[in-house]
Amino acid sequence: MKQVHHQKKLTLADTELNAKLEALLHQHKLKVTAIRLLILKTLLEQDGYLTVDSLLKAIWHRYSDQKVSLSGVYGSIKKLVDAGVVQRCFIDGKYTYNYSGSCVPTDQLVEIASGRVFDLSHALLQQAKVQIAKEYGFNAENCRIELHAYPGDTDGVPLDKPLTS
């Protein structure tokens, strides 16, 4: 039986989103390409981090009319990470990716089982980041801390909101 993929119809919201993403790429001196726009739109639609393979499958599922290859995703994602538009995280032995939004490094808690990501904003964390960055000769403004939560780490505390001090 042949699989039928539903193609997404272009709406005004999509046009506005494309314009914003194109401006973001220009701001970071990146060439606007169809694959970069597809990657960013797909990452925006996802909750958590995606591997390149899962990102490619999500693109194929959502935008079946587009011709996208694994090598094309790898090449584009590298440029997006290098520019700071996409964040890369190492989870369970695999690199995963997420749209960083503001393009400013944010401290995060990554729930390993689900891949969900929570932004962290805590005064003690900020102090530790400044001290650690200084010890290693980095500027804390360009660093981020990433905590990994493994199953059973929550002690019954639901992780359904941003964690703040």
Quick one: average pLDDT of 122-138? Answer: 86
Please report how many Cα atoms fall inside a 13 Å half-sphere around the Cα of residue 78, on the Cβ side.
Answer: 5
Sequence spans of domains, the chain? 6-100, 105-165
Please check whether the domain covering 6-100 is classified as CATH 3.40.190.10: no
Query: Which residues are CB-neighbours of 2 under 8 A, at least 6 positions away?
Result: none
CA distance 6 to 62: 7
Neighbours of 52 (CB within 10 A): 17
Contact status, residue 35 vs residue 72, Cβ threshold 8 Å: yes
What is the reported pLDDT for 3?
Answer: 37
78-81, Cβ contacts within 8 angstroms, sequence gap of 24 or more: 79/30, 79/36, 80/30, 80/36, 80/39, 80/40
Q: Identical fold at 6-100 and 105-165?
A: no
Give the pLDDT of residue 157.
54
CA angle 83, 86, 91 (to 5 degrees): 125
**105-165: what fold?**
Dna Ligase; domain 1 (3.30.1490)
pLDDT per residue over 70-112, tens digit each? 999 999 999 998 888 888 877 777 888 887 654 455 677 878 7
Give the angle subtended at the CA of 106 by the CAs of 74 and 124, to the nearest 5°.
Answer: 145
Whether 126 and 106 have beta carbons less than 8 Å apart is answered as no
pLDDT band at 1 (very low <50, low <70, confident <90, very high): very low
In whole angstroms, what is the distance from residue 164 CA to residue 126 CA?
11
CA atoms within 13 A on the CB side of 89: 28
How far apart (Å, rounded) are the C-alpha atoms in residues 120 and 122?
A: 6
